[in-house]
Amino acid sequence: MGGGRYPRIGEQVLYVIVLYDTAAGGAGYVAALPASLRKVFERAREILTCPRNCDAACHACLLSYDTQHQMDVLDRHKALEVLNGRFLDGLALPASAQWFGPDSQAEHETLLSAVNREMQVRGSDRLRIYLAGAAAEWDLIDWNLRDSLLRWAAEHKQVDLYVERGTVAALPAESSNSLASLVEVASLSLYDTERFPEPRDRIVCEVVRASGVVRWGVESDSARTPGAEWGSTEDGARCVRCADPFSGVLPPAKSVSASELRRLPSGAVVSLELIDELNGDIVGFGERFWTCITAGVPALDARLSGKTPLSVVSYNDRYLASPLDTRLLFEVVRHVLAASGTSDKYCAFELTTAQLSASQFSSPTRLHHDWQEGGDRVDVIHELFGEHFQPFQITVEAKHQLPHARKLVLEWADGATMQIRLDHGFGYWRTTWSKQYPFALSPTRQTIALRSTRFGVEPRNNQCATIVYASQVLQKE
Ligand SMILES: [Zn+2]
């Protein structure tokens, strides 16, 4: 193992120690370190406590072949000042947090990366996940573990989802259907269990190997809820891990199949499973979308060819964050406006979306990248849609204040309405080629570029369908 140290000067001066495996390809020593950080520091204290009680460093403590060129900077007393008892105690868990007994340890990584790393260890071929939290908060589409689940399925690793009795029945139909799709596409096994293993209000997942299990607990129900914040301890919740040579006895559980999960949401008359139906040039995306919907709801076809114009369109989507998603929505609503014979600026549009979260791209450059916080999203969306819809209104709220459902509502001048729900929203599709987008230009120039750019559209993952639910056209009573 090797290491280096460099100062990072930001708001405050701090030192970053970088450790790396010296063996080609990595020997796994560094990866194993976070789990035994306290032991490593305790051993370091032993080494620093020199048997010759030297002034700074000698051959009985810090001087070795590896450190011979650092002799001038080595000082065991300074190191001992840092690795004091208080520092080491800070790494230990208080007794009240030793949920899994004396071997419990604080998890220093995010749960997402800790689980991913443990699943890479040889012999880790099974993961058990205990899903809890309020059924209405479940968000299978944006579950941050989703990509990992698909990857483990491809690697033939078994993932078992456990839910406590009553949870599945309480799920809204859309979530239940999304769970069914995920169970199928990621080859998951789903179990309805009387109760979770202890501590049942904290356990979140277990990696199972022949040599035992590694299990984690989180003291937060939202961290056990499938969604974008699964495993998150950002609210200050504690995450604790424990390696246990005994895999434990699981309480009795009943297997639940994907078909038992599928049901039509209330108000919907059809559910359309789309995979490649909307593939093709972005110009024509809207037409292909409505062709699929009218095939399922013939009354809509009759309505669009009738004489009544649309009066209000509304769309709710927490994650309308990229120029690509914006353009896809734009094609869909502009087409229905034209198909219904509604004049430009005759129909209102109410768009609701969530505040942008910290972007994964520090400087976005592509059509599918998100606008940055404080960027031009609202201005560009306003200019793009405002040309066709009047008045156009965009409301931006905190994410947790918006419903999960991505809902498009059409309302005609005679009061008739129709609802369409998209389980993935427009994030289901991507461009066939990575496409540039001029984030640095003014909102007006961005709007011009966004409206005119041409590209092909295809699903991000063509093994997984997106489901569109459509209601009947409801006449005003
Ligand atoms: Zn010494």
Q: Return the closest-CA partner of residue 316 out of 230, 239, 393, 231.
A: 393
Q: Do residues 295 and 440 share a domain?
A: yes
179 in the same domain as 158: yes
| Per-residue confidence (pLDDT) for residue 256, from 0 to 100 | 94
What number of CA atoms fall less than 13 Å from residue 287's CA on the CB side? 6
Cα(23) to centroid of ligand 1, in Å?
A: 29
3-state helix, strand, coil in the chain (%, to 5): 30, 25, 45
The answer to whether residue 59 is domain-embedded is yes
Q: Is residue 319 part of a domain?
A: yes
- Strand-strand pairing, 158-164 and 466-471: unpaired
Last residue of a domain, one of 70, 91, 112: 91
Type of residue numbered 230: W
Contact in structure between 224 and 218 (CB atoms under 8 Å): yes
Q: What CATH number did the domain enclosing 134 receive?
A: 3.30.870
Is 36 part of any domain?
Answer: yes
What spacing in Å lies between the alpha carbon of 47 and ligand 1's midpoint?
9
Q: Assess whether 243 and 355 both reside in one domain.
A: no
Q: Quote the ligand 1 centre to 309 CA distance (angstroms).
A: 87
Domain annotation covers residue 477:
no
> Which tens digit of pLDDT belongs to each residue from 168-203?
999 998 899 999 999 998 999 999 999 999 899 999
In percent, the amount of the chain with pLDDT more than 70 equals 95
Spacing, Cα 52 to ligand 1 middle (Å): 6
Question: In total, how many domains does the chain have?
Answer: 3
Give residue-wise pLDDT tens across range 30-62.
777 776 777 888 899 999 999 999 999 999 999
Check whether residue 39 and residue 15 sit in a common domain.
Answer: yes
**Torsion sign (Cα): 289, 292, 295, 298:** negative
The pLDDT value given to residue 5: 67
- Averaged pLDDT for residues 289-296: 95
Residues 239 and 288 reside in one and the same domain: no
- Interval between CA 49 and ligand 1 midpoint (Å): 8
112 inside domain: yes
* Å from CA of 67 to ligand 1 middle: 13
Task: Determine, yes or no, domain membership for 401.
Answer: yes
Q: What is the pLDDT of residues 326-378, one digit of tens each?
A: 999 999 999 999 999 999 999 999 999 999 987 667 789 999 999 998 779 99
| Tokens (6 digits) for 412 | 């005609």
Last residue in a domain, options 69, 91, 113: 91
Quote the pLDDT of residue 138: 93
**Statement to judge: residues 276 and 411 lie in one domain:** yes
Domain range for 349 = 268-471
Q: Is the domain of 291 the same as that of 423? A: yes
Mark whether 121 and 236 lie in a shared domain.
Answer: yes
- In the block, residue with structure tokens 């305790």: 42
C-beta neighbour count of 353 within 10 angstroms = 25
| Structural domain contains residue 138 | yes
Which regions of 310-347 does DSSP assign to beta strands (E)?
Answer: 310-317
Same domain, 123 and 87: no
Q: CB under 8 Å, gap of 24 or more: what pairs does 439-445 form? A: 439/363, 439/364, 439/365, 439/369, 439/371, 439/372, 439/375, 439/376, 442/376, 443/376, 443/379, 443/380, 443/383, 444/383
* 350, part of any domain: yes
- pLDDT of 432 above 90: yes
| Residue 64 CA to ligand 1 centre (angstroms) | 11
The pLDDT tens digits for 62-108 are 999 988 888 888 999 999 988 887 777 777 788 888 999 888 988 88
CA distance linking residue 362 with residue 371, whole number of Å: 10
Task: Express each pLDDT in 379-416 by its tens digit.
Answer: 999 999 999 999 999 999 998 888 888 999 999 999 99
* Whole-structure pTM value: 0.75
